[in-house]
Amino acid sequence: MKSKSIVLVTAVILMIAFTSIGALAITKKSTIRVEGMKCSKCTASVEKALKATPGVERVELNLERKEAVVEYDDAKVTESKLREVINATGFKAVEEKPDSQ
C-alpha cells in the first residue's frame, strides 16, 4: 500500500515537472535585416518560407526598414537556420539584432 502511494506521488511529481518544462519553453524574437527586400510584390515568399519552417510562430516583415521580425521556438529552430531560409528566397539576411524576451 505504501509503495503504491510512493509510485503515485512520484508519477504526479514527474508529470508536474514535465508540464513545467513545457510551460517554460521560451519564444525567442529576432529581427533580421534583409538586403534587397524593396519589392512589395516579392516579399510574400520570405514570409511564406519562414512560416513553413518548423518552430516559427510569427513573422512580420517591415519593407520600409527591410527587416523580418521572427518569433520562434529556439528549441526547434535557430536564428542561423532562419537566415538560411531567407537566403533561399533570393534575398540576403545580412544582420541580426537579437531581442531578448
| Residue 42 backbone phi and psi in degrees, to 5 | -95, -10
> Exactly one of 7, 9, 13, 44 binds other proteins (CB under 8 A); which one?
44
Residue 68 one-letter amino acid? A
- Cα separation, 27 vs 46, in Å, equals 20
Q: Element (H or E) spanning 13, and its range?
A: helix 2-24
Judged by CB under 8 A, the residue of 2, 24, 41, 101 near other proteins is: 41
Least separation in angstroms between residue 36's CB and other proteins is 6
By C-beta, is 36 or 98 nearer to other proteins? 36
Interaction site with other proteins (CB under 8 A) = 36, 39-42, 44-49, 52, 88-91
